[in-house]
Structures are given as structure tokens and as C-alpha cells.
């Protein structure tokens, strides 16, 4: 499929969806980053307070009030503020459905995903470049591999193609999101036909993802997550994802008030984020870097194993328990050779 030439836009015409809940301070920081980009169209979706959580209503209201108070640039704002709580699966999934009923493409951020300034330009340019290339389904703001720790040569590509799906700040098109199915309806049929062998030719990776997908399909309904299902949608449609040369988004949501990202030993807790140089250097071909994906999967498994060891040691030796993670450092200025301030071990 043809690609479109890109050039930096004077303002961000690409719409942004911001998904918030009950963390006003985190939402304030992410909204400040969005304000820097000044998108012409901003969509804000907020789930309702959880039953039996007496503090939720006030925190949800405080978070929603930020939108009126802090969106102070020329911008069309649309909101989806729910009275009921749909949870961590249906809440974001239906918010993205709502977004793509109105927009053909866009950037998606949750209230714990703090982007760099260049994240928005990166997504904007690549959404336009691969708008009509159905092979490409997902643009990630994350690079959580060890590659991101090292200086990026000036002549290196600004991104590569992958099968990995990271969703801490990302972008996609309506044409791709239409394949999303929160209930993984196709999973049983793909297993029966043996098609998972083609999707994941390496046995260990196939078993890893099959366990994740089956846990979602057979677990509580509606599911309490949505990102595994999006990974499945990309994988079973042979989709490519785009991974930036440096990590462009840090997760500021690790902590006691998180639902999933509460483990201080997680190798991805508070990954350092950096600015990316422009103009972008595009890969000469649209091909998955399978070797790099395999290396990243091995790193991921090793990181998970090491995190488990650290948790066990902490239980046996309470004095060895690390202090609560501090807020990530400010993003670095644009450099050809960024040096991450915190190690990534995924």
C-alpha cells in the first residue's frame, strides 16, 4: 500500500482521547502535556465511581473539573462522563469505541501515561504516513526494550516495525480498531484450526500468549482488561506495530492507588522518557523486525523472573524492601544520544 509524505504540522490537528478516572493529580500532569501540544479536538472519557468506594465520587468529580479549568487553548472538547462504573476493561474499550465513531484516527492517552512533547508529533506524522496502509495497525509511544537504554546513532531509523503492542500512549485508526473484540470470540476457532502456530511460531511465546488470552476469555465477564484483546486483534490480523527508537511515554501510575500497575518491582515501573529528533528517519521497508521482537520477548521473561525473585527476597528480608517509587524524572531534551535516567528491564 502507498504511504504519504509527511512534514511537521504547525499545530496538532490530530484529535486526542484522554481517558481519566479518579486520580486528579496524575490527570493534571498528563493534561499539562496535552496542553503543550494544543490539539484542536480533545475527547475526554471518564468512568463513574465504583460502588462501595466512598472516596471515588469526590475524586472523580475533582478529576472531571480539571477539564473545564485547564483546557485553556482554542479547542473543541467533547466529553463522555459516565454515572456508572464500567471497570478497567469496558471503560476504556467503550471510550475508544466512542472516539472512533467520531474520528477516523487519533491519539489515545490514559491518565497515568505522561508523554513527551515529541510523542504527539511522532504519532501525528505516522498516522498520516500510514493512513492507507492496512498492514500497520498500531503506533506505540513506548520502547521498553534494552535497546532504548543506549545512544541512538544519528543515522539510525526513528522507529521500527514490530508485533509488540504497548499501550501506554499510542495511536491508531478506525480501520484498525474495528477488529477489536473484548471477548476474544475468534480465539477458540483459531486454536482449532492451528492458526496460532502461524501467529506465534515459537512454542514458548505461543504458550505465554495463549495463557494470557485464555485467562481473559474464561475469566470474569466483562473482562477487567482490554489491552490483551487489542494485542490479539493486531496479531490475528497479521498487523504491524510501530515502536519508536526511544521511549516517549512514562507510566506515572505505579502505586497503591493503581488497579494493575502497583508492583514496585515491575521492570517497567516509571520508565524514563526522552524526546525524539526530527525530521523522522523512516525505515526503507515495511517489515517486522522479528529478531528484535524475539530478543525483547526474552528480555521480558527475564525481567519478570527477576521481579519475582526480588519480591520473594523482600518477603524474607523486610529490610530489603525498596522505598516507594518516586516520580519519574522530567523528560530529557532532544538529543541524538539520549541516556535514560532509569533502567528498563522488560
pLDDT in tens, 138-180: 999 999 998 887 778 889 999 999 999 999 999 999 999 999 9
Percent share of the chain, pLDDT over 70: 84
DSSP-derived 3-state class of residue 149: helix
The pLDDT assigned to 256 comes to 54
For residue 311, name the pLDDT band (cuts at 50, 70, 90): confident
pLDDT in tens, 89-116: 999 999 999 999 999 999 999 999 999 9
> What global pTM score does this model have?
0.85
DSSP-derived 3-state class of residue 184: coil
Peptide bond into 173 cis (omega under 30): no
For residue 267, name the pLDDT band (cuts at 50, 70, 90): low
Could you write out the DSSP letters of every residue in 269-301? SS---B---SS----SS--B-HHHHHHHHHHHH
pLDDT in tens, 207-220: 999 999 999 999 99
Buried/exposed code over 269-288 (b: 16+ C-beta within 10 A; e: otherwise) = bbbbbbbbbeebebeeeeeb
What's domain 16-182+222-320's architecture?
Answer: Alpha-Beta Complex (3.90)
pLDDT exceeds cutoff 80 at 4: no
Gap between the Cα atoms of 76 and 180, Å rounded: 27
pLDDT exceeds cutoff 60 at 262: no
pLDDT in tens, 241-250: 999 999 999 9
Amino acid at each position: 500500500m502507498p504511504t504519504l509524505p509527511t512534514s511537521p504540522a504547525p499545530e496538532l490537528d490530530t484529535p486526542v482521547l484522554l481517558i481519566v478516572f479518579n486520580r486528579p493529580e496524575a490527570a493534571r500532569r498528563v493534561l499539562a502535556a496535552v496542553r503543550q501540544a494544543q490539539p484542536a479536538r480533545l475527547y475526554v472519557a471518564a468512568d463513574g465511581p465504583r460502588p462501595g468506594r466512598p472516596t471515588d465520587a469526590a475524586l472523580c468529580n475533582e478529576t472531571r473539573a480539571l477539564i473545564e479549568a485547564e483546557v485553556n487553548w482554542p479547542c473543541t472538547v467533547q466529553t463522555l462522563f459516565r454515572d456508572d462504573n464500567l471497570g478497567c476493561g469496558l471503560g476504556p474499550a467503550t471510550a475508544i469505541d466512542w472516539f472512533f465513531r467520531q474520528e477516523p484516527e487519533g491519539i489515545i492517552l490514559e491518565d497515568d501515561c505522561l508523554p513527551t512533547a515529541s510523542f504527539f508529533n511522532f504519532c501525528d506524522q505516522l498516522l498520516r504516513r500510514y493512513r492507507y496502509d492496512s498492514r500497520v495497525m498500531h503506533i506505540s509511544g513506548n520502547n521498553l526494550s534494552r535497546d532504548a537504554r543506549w545512544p541512538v546513532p544519528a543515522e539510525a531509523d526513528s522507529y521500527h516495525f514490530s508485533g509488540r503492542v504497548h499501550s501506554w500512549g499510542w495511536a491508531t485508526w478506525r480501520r484498525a480498531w474495528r477488529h477489536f473484540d473484548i471477548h476474544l470470540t475468534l480465539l477458540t476457532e483459531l486454536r482449532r484450526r492451528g492458526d496460532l502456530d502461524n501467529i506465534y511460531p515459537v512454542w514458548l511465546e505461543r504458550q505465554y500468549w495463549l495463557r494470557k488470552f485464555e485467562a481473559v476469555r474464561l475469566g470474569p465477564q466483562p473482562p477487567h482488561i482490554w489491552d490483551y484483546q487489542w494485542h490479539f486483534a493486531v496479531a490475528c490480523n497479521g498487523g504491524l506495530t510501530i515502536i519508536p527508537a526511544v521511549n516517549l511515554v512514562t507510566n506515572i501510575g505505579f502505586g497503591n492507588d493503581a488497579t494493575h500497575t502497583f508492583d514496585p518491582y515491575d521492570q517497567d515501573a516509571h520508565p524514563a522518557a526522552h524526546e525524539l529528533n526530527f525530521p523522522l528517519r523512516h525505515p526503507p521497508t515495511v517489515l517486522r523486525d522479528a529478531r528484535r521482537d524475539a530478543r525483547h520477548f526474552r528480555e521480558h521473561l527475564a525481567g519478570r523472573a527477576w521481579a519475582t525473585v526480588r519480591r520473594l527476597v523482600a518477603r524474607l528480608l523486610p529490610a530489603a524492601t525498596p522505598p516507594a517509587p518516586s516520580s519519574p524524572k522530567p523528560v530529557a531534551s532532544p538529543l541524538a544520544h539520549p541516556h535514560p535516567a532509569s533502567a528498563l528491564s522488560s
